[in-house]
Amino acid sequence: MDNNLGIYICSGCDIGKSLNVERLINTAKDSGKPLVCVSHEFLCGPEGINLIKNDISEKKINKLVIAACSMRAKQDVFNFDQFTIHTERVNLREHVIWISPPNDNNTQLLAEDYINMGASRAKKAAFPEPLVQDLNKTVLVVGGGVTGLNASVNAAKAGYDVVLVEKKPNLGGFPFSKYKKWETKPPFDKNTWIREGLDELISEAEKSNKIKIYKNSKIKSISGAPGKFNVEIESAEGNSGSEPVKEIAGSIVAATGWKPYDAKKLDNLGYGLTPDILTNVELEELYSELSDNGKSENFALKRKSDGKPVKSVLFVQCAGSRDENHLPYCSTVCCMSSLKEAALIRKNNPDANVYIIYKDMRTMGEYENFYRKMQDDEGIFMVKGVVSGVSFDKSGNTIGVKVKDTLFGGDIDINTEMVVLATGMVPNSGEIELKDNAATLNVGEVQPASGASCPPSVPVSTAQVPKSGLLNLSYRQGKEMPDLIYGFPDSNFICFPYESRRTGIYPAGSVRMPLDTVFSVDDAKGAVLKAIQCIEQTSKGRAVHPRSNDTTYPFFDLPRCTQCKRCTEECPFGAIDEDEKGTPQYNPERCRRCGICMGACPVRIISFKNYSPDIIGSMIKSIYVPEDPTDENYRILVFACENDAYPALDILGLNKMNLSSNIRVIPVRCLGSINNVWYADALSKGIDGILLLGCKYGDDYQCHFTKGSELASYRMGNLKETLTRLVLEEERVRQVQLEYTDYMKLPEIVEDFVNKVKSLGPNPYKGF
Amino acid sequence: MSELNNENAVLIIGGGHSGVSAALEITEAVDKKVYIVEKKSYIGGRVLQMYKYFPKLCPPFCGFEINTKRIKSSAEGNINFLVSSSVEEITKAKEGSGYKVKIKQKPQYINDNCTVCGECAKVCPEERPNDFNYGMDNTKAIFMPAISSFPLKYSVDDKYCKFSACKKCEEACRYSAINLDAKENIIELTVSDIIFATGWKPYEVEKLENLGYGKYKNVITNVKMERLAAENGPTGGKILRPSDGKEVKNVAFIQCAGSRNENHLPYCSAICCMASLKQAMYLREKNPESSPVIFYIDLRTPGRYENFLNKAQSDEKIKFNKGIVGKISEDRETGDLLLDVEDMLSGKKNKVRAEMVVLAAGMASNIKDDLKEIKIDEEIKIDIDENGFIFNDNFKEGIFSAGVARFPLDVYMSGQSATSAALSVIQHNAKL
């Protein structure tokens, strides 16, 4: 590859007034040996752009160094074909002249270093070669309930083939056997026959020539990657010895739904004392039975115990939900579903009183209409309080309920003929595999992580409890989607609800978060969009979120691999499997291009075309480190996360705040992509300190690669050994968690670190 | 997939979180042009005015940064913005399906040459109330609208600029980026689909006369609270009350200010409980001496948001009071507020003193007001319910909704609805 370097220095926006541009050109020429090195007073203007374009066509410049403003500004004009021209942006404006005193030697040195660093990177960078492939575009939908059916029908409607796998003999899922749901359309103040729409949906799916349905079937295994998932399906209908059916899929929507919380654990609420203490699900089943599966509209609700129409029913809300001993979360649907049941009882048993014992009534949005209507019914009593005891009087066949903490302070006793426990939803996200016995736990029961095998290089907090039984992925990192919390494999990103840690696999509906049928429909559609988007992007060789459209991906120089397994363990997206020897088997279609594997590799065999240990190493090596140990000659290397810390530095510049000119910033894809060799490169060269600016980690982590910043911090442990070996203080390296809007704190953060390093004295390796 | 009908673009009305998300989800899946029409001079919408998002207490700019990167790296010409623009007219296209849309773009006084160098604002003699901070401070009449505007350029407020009587900015600009003689543009598009992502505005809490908003300086809204807390806000991130700039300790949050009230907003706005919990929590963090109290009817923290409520409740200094605030009056000497409150748990009527009151103003959908400004063919059916939400898509006609135009939703669920709307567009254009 020709390396025809062109360095273009903009003197506009006061760059020319603050820096000696002629000196910049001379130093750049000396160190970078460019084919062209010029300045222009308005580089982003038409004349400046033409200047660059002419050099590209006439002088065959293919490595551009644009020393002007931030890479975040004017990207639309400094926009050249990425496959034939490398564009390296050097930030002389936001990161130099806007934060440093003008016409000052230290400011000048800062600018010179940045240009040299940019030139080094441009020279080493190769052009991306996107992995364009012909891929399978079928969407596999796991689960044939409301969400799965909607996902299937909607994917077909968008023109995609679908394979739908349902473990039960019939489609329709949970509501199939139930009675009524609440209205799905504004103003949400009616009850609707639950099968309304569902029967049509089932028949639409069954009739579609784009949807292939496997009922009574389970996924035996899924291997491969987006665009080439190999799916093995086991059918209970076939002969027991028959081979699993094989299908190929491009992406997956996991709509495995929920199960009701086990009421047997709610003996404090009297479950089991009499058949008239039942769950909300059992009440629905009773209704279904009494109505002859919905054929009859006019019938009374009768007690299971004696078959007599009920005169009073008491609903216990949050039976298990919002309770740290059971389900710590709110199941979201139970308030509306109890109100719906109350309405049905009042319609069919007009003499009956209905009590609803609640903590907070949660009828969000326009569902409030339904709640208001129920409040107007004088036979419905809403009682805020906590049920403290349930007793059963056998002789009178009545149930006594004690309620405490009611409004106005008093405790009350209510006698009723029937009690309905509004039990919550437990996500169906796989069974927990216990290491040493055959038993499995329900997911709602939170299993301590100690039973899990924690790979040694992964911080304990990010280790997953092993689960199986639904997708049965043959991934090195586990068979199911990683949970976010409480067994829900949800996204942790407020802005990106479909962020998935298993590329091409999107959970939808109530497995992802407690959702009712109304919102599960929207959710199914959203997940289908992401599923087809993943196939389309992947086949064009482009990454999906968060580095959407990135065409680079890492290369593994496997002959040099030492099988240490760090990359396979640390990849947040489970993109890397391994063979029996422990050699990584990289799946580019699962990859999100964060570079965490590159950061993990102790022998540096992983690199991107334009981002590698060698490329960043050469940037570090091009920093001029003065030998004279004066205050202004201290050199601090800053690795800044591209997404948050780097923009924060830009905004600091926009606000023209001062920052120490001792620092040299290198943007990184993620702090997790920092390879420990860079610390060695910097410190052995005499750089006095290294500061990592990256995202917050922990429960509310903000790293868009989920654990990059945490891994960077974790790897500091290994780094300390290196420092000790070099007889350097460990305080010379510091990681700070920074949010985008923390830009005002940056001067203090940097100053504090610079002072700390100064107190340690200069790096003794200077001048070696 | 089968072929996609892509000769016509998709119109997305509203460039907030939902509109931008829908645009990105469409264009990253298929080759289809989208046009986002945004009234303001920048995209990103109301969420950019938030200090932090619940439940992670993270800044909105982090996700927005990713979205702007996605826009910049998208296939050329597929995502188009018309900022400072509004839709004037929607008519049925004569041939085939789809719509002809007339869009008015206000004069673009600043062109793409702008480098945000800031020389213009230095010489501008005029000031304007800063709408980004709900008028709590001023900027120059030529200004950067948000801390990191997209598109990254300055903007001119034509209500405050003196134009030809001044022109100092034009003279100061070295990049010919300013043209104060610019004229408005009319842009005509033919589109196959329309997504309403018109968002919301805080309910006009002045209408709740008993709560004293607009009458007493220290009664503010939840959206203003976000700006007071933001480091880039009018007070540099210190929560200071408007009357005397005192750092507040004892703050009362009043839930359902307008929401769940048939005379105001009959529905629950879905976000206000989480928003007030968040505000109480960051108030506590910023000022450890503070003691917020939340007056509520029901605490609505669905799903896993429950642990956010638990976190707030584990702080003994955050008090919860189930009850309705009957009336607020002002102690004129101190500027404090006196609240007549019914504590529903004890049954007692209390008088509570607060240094500042934050009204949890509900979300009012923008759509009804927006549609008043648009001339629409009668035969075009947009199914708006009585509260101003488009929950029912018109699939046949390619009319969809996303975000709060659809239902009272938080940011997370708005993103979900935008992704779902993106699929609807693809389905509507699929050549099966």
- The predicted-structure confidence for A278-336, as pLDDT tens digits, reads as follows 999 999 889 888 888 777 778 899 999 999 999 999 999 999 999 999 999 999 999 99
| A50 within a domain of the structure (yes/no) | yes
Cα A270 from Cα B387, distance rounded (Å): 42
Polymer length of chain B: 432
Q: Give the tokens for residue B116.
A: 């945000």
| pLDDT top residue among A294 and A539 | A539
Question: Which one of B73, B226, B255 would you mutate to disrupt binding with A, by most A Cβ within 10 Å of its Cβ?
Answer: B73
- The Cα of B346 is separated from the nearest Cα of chain A by a number of Å equal to 5
Q: What is the CATH number of the domain that holds A682?
A: 3.40.50
Number of Cα atoms under 13 Å in the Cβ half of residue B45: 27
Q: Is 80 exceeded by the pLDDT of residue A448?
A: no
DSSP at A356: E
CA dihedral A677, A678, A679, A682 (to 10 degrees): 120
- The Cα of B258 is separated from the nearest Cα of chain A by a number of Å equal to 13
| B327 within a domain of the structure (yes/no) | yes
- Please say whether the beta carbons of A8 and A38 come within 8 A: yes
Q: Please enumerate, as own/partner, the contacts of A452-459 that have beta carbons within 8 Å and a separation of 24 or more.
A: A455/A565, A455/A569, A456/A569, A457/A565, A457/A566, A457/A569, A457/A570, A457/A600, A457/A714, A458/A569, A458/A570, A458/A711, A458/A714, A459/A707, A459/A710, A459/A711, A459/A714
What is the predicted ipTM? 0.97
pLDDT band of A456, cuts 50, 70, 90:
very low
Mean pLDDT for A624-652 is 95
The answer to whether residues B192 and B211 belong to one domain is no
Cα A82 from Cα A127, distance rounded (Å): 7
- Please say whether the beta carbons of A508 and A527 come within 8 A: yes
| A750 within a domain of the structure (yes/no) | yes
Least confident of A99-108, A720-729, B108-117, B401-410: A720-729
Q: Give me the residue from A360, A528, A545 closest to B299, CB to CB.
A: A360
| B113 within a domain of the structure (yes/no) | no
| B64 contacts on A by Cβ (under 8 Å) | 495
By DSSP bridging, strand B34-37 and strand B9-13 are: parallel
Among A472, A526, A536, A525, which residue's Cα sits nearest to residue A502? A472
The answer to whether residues B224 and B316 belong to one domain is yes
Number of Cα atoms under 13 Å in the Cβ half of residue B411: 28
Least confident of A175-184, A400-409, B228-237: A175-184
pLDDT band of A176, cuts 50, 70, 90:
low
What pLDDT is recorded for position B208? 97
Which amino acid is it at A723? L
CA–CA distances in Å: residue A418 to residues A170, A301, A393, A708, B354: 31, 10, 12, 53, 46
The residue segments making up the domain with residue B128 are 119-172
| B337 within a domain of the structure (yes/no) | yes
Q: Give the tokens for residue B345.
A: 């748990």
The answer to whether residues B358 and B372 belong to one domain is no
Q: Is 90 exceeded by the pLDDT of residue A451?
A: no
Cα A338 from Cα A334, distance rounded (Å): 6
Interior angle at CA A625, CA A622 and CA A629, nearest 5: 175
| A599 within a domain of the structure (yes/no) | no
Least confident of A51-55, A416-420, B73-77, B82-86: B73-77
Please answer yes or no on whether B63 and A495 come within 8 Å at the CB atom.
Answer: yes
If one counts the domains in chain B, the total is 3
Please answer yes or no on whether A496 and B66 come within 8 Å at the CB atom.
Answer: yes
The answer to whether residues A117 and A185 belong to one domain is no
Please answer yes or no on whether B413 and A137 come within 8 Å at the CB atom.
Answer: no
Mean pLDDT for A454-465 is 49
Cα A144 from Cα A130, distance rounded (Å): 36
- Please say whether the beta carbons of A323 and A330 come within 8 A: no
The answer to whether residues A756 and A644 belong to one domain is yes
What pLDDT is recorded for position A460? 41
The answer to whether residues A622 and A735 belong to one domain is yes
Q: What is the CATH number of the domain that holds A227?
A: 3.50.50.60
What pLDDT is recorded for position B2? 57
- Please say whether the beta carbons of A640 and A649 come within 8 A: yes
What pLDDT is recorded for position B204? 98
Cα B262 from Cα B275, distance rounded (Å): 22
Please answer yes or no on whether A654 and B116 come within 8 Å at the CB atom.
Answer: yes
The answer to whether residues A369 and A234 belong to one domain is no
Beta bridge partners of A432: A441, A467
Please answer yes or no on whether B411 and A494 come within 8 Å at the CB atom.
Answer: yes
Cα A527 from Cα A179, distance rounded (Å): 28
| pLDDT top residue among A338 and A173 | A338
Helix (H) and strand (E) counts in chain B? 9, 22
| A645 within a domain of the structure (yes/no) | yes
Q: Give the tokens for residue B82.
A: 């018309």
pLDDT band of A267, cuts 50, 70, 90:
confident
Cα A674 from Cα A705, distance rounded (Å): 13
Q: Give me the residue from A362, A548, A651 closest to B28, CB to CB.
A: A548
Task: Tally A–B CB contacts below 8 A.
Answer: 261
First to last CA, chain B: 9
The answer to whether residues A40 and A71 belong to one domain is yes
Determine if the peptide bond prior to A187 is cis (ω within 30°).
yes
| B1 within a domain of the structure (yes/no) | no
What pLDDT is recorded for position A374? 93
Contacts of A54 (CB under 8 A, 6+ apart): none
Q: Is A357 helix (H, G, I), strand (E, B) or coil?
A: strand
* Chain A residue with minimum CA distance to B28: A533
Beta bridge partners of A425: A260
Cα A469 from Cα A476, distance rounded (Å): 16
By DSSP bridging, strand A229-235 and strand A245-249 are: antiparallel
Q: What is the CATH number of the domain that holds B384?
A: 3.50.50.60
What pLDDT is recorded for position A768? 65
Of B362, B396, B419, the one marking the end of a domain is B362
Cα A346 from Cα A712, distance rounded (Å): 60
What pLDDT is recorded for position A438? 39
Please answer yes or no on whether B389 and A14 come within 8 Å at the CB atom.
Answer: no
- The Cα of A602 is separated from the nearest Cα of chain B by a number of Å equal to 30
| A565 within a domain of the structure (yes/no) | no
The answer to whether residues B212 and B325 belong to one domain is yes
- Please say whether the beta carbons of B21 and B419 come within 8 A: yes
| A500 within a domain of the structure (yes/no) | yes
The answer to whether residues A633 and A674 belong to one domain is yes
3-state SS of chain A: helix, strand, coil percent to 5? 30, 20, 45
| A700 contacts on B by Cβ (under 8 Å) | 55-58
- What is the pLDDT of chain A when averaged over all its residues? 92
| A161 contacts on B by Cβ (under 8 Å) | none
Which amino acid is it at B430? A
| A684 within a domain of the structure (yes/no) | yes
Please answer yes or no on whether A137 and B1 come within 8 Å at the CB atom.
Answer: yes
Q: Give me the residue from A324, A365, A650 closest to B268, CB to CB.
A: A365
What pLDDT is recorded for position A177? 61
Where is A755: in which H helix or E strand? helix A746-760
Q: Give me the residue from B2, B53, B74 closest to A494, CB to CB.
A: B53
| B1 contacts on A by Cβ (under 8 Å) | 137, 158-160, 532, 536
Cα A695 from Cα A692, distance rounded (Å): 10
The answer to whether residues A232 and A281 belong to one domain is no
| A583 within a domain of the structure (yes/no) | no
* Chain A residue with minimum CA distance to B31: A536
| B420 contacts on A by Cβ (under 8 Å) | 522-523, 525-526, 529
The answer to whether residues B237 and B130 belong to one domain is no
The answer to whether residues A264 and A408 belong to one domain is yes
- Please say whether the beta carbons of B140 and B124 come within 8 A: yes
| B250 within a domain of the structure (yes/no) | yes
What pLDDT is recorded for position A241? 66
The answer to whether residues B231 and B101 belong to one domain is no
Please answer yes or no on whether B385 and A522 come within 8 Å at the CB atom.
Answer: no
> Whose structure tokens read 């040195």?
A109
Of A408, A426, A444, the one marking the end of a domain is A426
The answer to whether residues A286 and A244 belong to one domain is no
Please answer yes or no on whether B412 and A497 come within 8 Å at the CB atom.
Answer: yes
Strand segments, DSSP code E, in A341-430 are 353-358, 380-384, 386-393, 398-404, 412-416, 418-423, 425-427
pLDDT by 10-residue block (mean), chain B, 432 residues: 81 98 98 97 96 97 96 92 97 86 98 95 98 97 92 96 97 97 96 98 97 97 98 95 97 97 97 98 97 97 97 98 95 97 87 97 96 93 94 94 98 98 97 86
Mean pLDDT for A559-586 is 96
What pLDDT is recorded for position A449? 36
The answer to whether residues B253 and B397 belong to one domain is no
Please answer yes or no on whether B310 and A495 come within 8 Å at the CB atom.
Answer: no
| B209 within a domain of the structure (yes/no) | yes
Question: Which one of B57, B58, B345 would you mutate to disrupt binding with A, by most A Cβ within 10 Å of its Cβ?
Answer: B58
The answer to whether residues A249 and A271 belong to one domain is no
Q: Is 50 exceeded by the pLDDT of residue A396?
A: yes
* Chain B residue with minimum CA distance to A547: B70
The answer to whether residues A352 and A322 belong to one domain is yes
First to last CA, chain A: 33
Burial zone of A698 (CB within 10 Å; 0-12 exposed, 13-18 middle, 19+ buried)? exposed
- Kindly report the number of other CB atoms within 10 A of residue A159's CB atom: 20
Beta bridge partners of A390: A401
What pLDDT is recorded for position A194? 57
Tell me the Cα Rg of chain A: 32
The answer to whether residues B188 and B56 belong to one domain is yes
CA–CA distances in Å: residue B56 to residues A216, A739, A744, B274, B303: 41, 12, 21, 11, 15
What crossing angle do the helices spanning A198-207 and A146-157 adopt, rounded to 10°? 50
| B432 contacts on A by Cβ (under 8 Å) | 157, 159
Please answer yes or no on whether A493 and B63 come within 8 Å at the CB atom.
Answer: yes
HEC secondary structure over A245-302: EEEEECEEEECCCEEECCHHHCHHHCCCCCCCEEEHHHHHHHHHHHCCCCCCCCCCCE
| B4 within a domain of the structure (yes/no) | no
pLDDT band of A405, cuts 50, 70, 90:
confident
- The Cα of B130 is separated from the nearest Cα of chain A by a number of Å equal to 17
Cα B332 from Cα B352, distance rounded (Å): 15
CA–CA distances in Å: residue A203 to residues A167, A524, A542: 18, 18, 37
What pLDDT is recorded for position A193? 59
The answer to whether residues B92 and B135 belong to one domain is no
The residue segments making up the domain with residue A749 are 611-768
Cα A675 from Cα A687, distance rounded (Å): 17
What pLDDT is recorded for position A292? 83
Q: Please enumerate, as own/partner, the contacts of B309-315 that have beta carbons within 8 Å and a separation of 24 or more.
A: B309/B273, B309/B277, B310/A324, B310/A328, B311/B281, B312/B277, B312/B280, B312/B281, B315/B281, B315/B284
CA–CA distances in Å: residue B172 to residues B122, B167, B177: 9, 9, 10
Please answer yes or no on whether A14 and B424 come within 8 Å at the CB atom.
Answer: no
| pTM, rounded to two decimals | 0.96
Cα B87 from Cα B100, distance rounded (Å): 11
| B111 within a domain of the structure (yes/no) | no
* DSSP codes of every residue in A81-130: -TTT-EEEEEESIIIIITTS-SS-HHHHHHHHHHHHHHHHHHHHPPPP--
- Please say whether the beta carbons of B109 and B180 come within 8 A: yes
Please answer yes or no on whether B416 and A740 come within 8 Å at the CB atom.
Answer: no
H runs (alpha helix) in A496-610: 517-539, 566-570, 596-600
Q: Give me the residue from A328, A360, A522 closest to B416, CB to CB.
A: A522
The answer to whether residues A733 and A674 belong to one domain is yes
| B306 contacts on A by Cβ (under 8 Å) | 322, 328-330
The answer to whether residues B417 and B287 belong to one domain is no
The answer to whether residues B80 and B168 belong to one domain is no
Please answer yes or no on whether A740 and B232 come within 8 Å at the CB atom.
Answer: no
If one counts the domains in chain A, the total is 4
The answer to whether residues B212 and B92 belong to one domain is no
* Chain A residue with minimum CA distance to B345: A407
